[in-house]
Amino acid sequence: MQTKRPFVISIAGFDPSGGAGLLADIKTFEQLGVMGLGVCTAMTVQIESKCLSIEWLPLDEIITSISILMKEYPVEAIKIGVVKDSVFLEKIIETIRFYNAGTKIIWDPVLKSTSEFSFFDLETLPLLKDVLKKIDLITPNYNEYRVLQEYNLLNQDQNPCAVLVKGGHRNDRIGTDILIRNGEEISLEPNLDESSGYYPKHGSGCVLSSAIAGWLAKEESLEDACRKGKLYTEKFLKSNPSLLGFHSV
Report the chain's mean pLDDT, rounded to a whole number: 92
Q: Report pLDDT for 249.
A: 86
Q: How far apart are CA 87 and CA 31, in angstroms?
A: 33
Q: What is the pLDDT of residue 1?
A: 41
User: What are the CB-based long-range contacts (under 8 Å, 24+) for 172-181?
Assistant: 177/226, 177/230, 179/222, 179/223, 179/226, 180/156, 181/222, 181/223
pLDDT of residue 173: 74
What percentage of the chain carries pLDDT values higher than 90?
Answer: 81
Range name among 112-121, 142-151, 203-212, 226-235 with the lowest pLDDT average: 112-121
Q: What is the pLDDT of residues 129-152, one digit of tens each?
A: 899 999 999 999 999 999 999 999
Average pLDDT over residues 114-132: 88
Q: Residue range 2-8: average pLDDT?
A: 84
Pairing of strands 177-181, 162-165: antiparallel
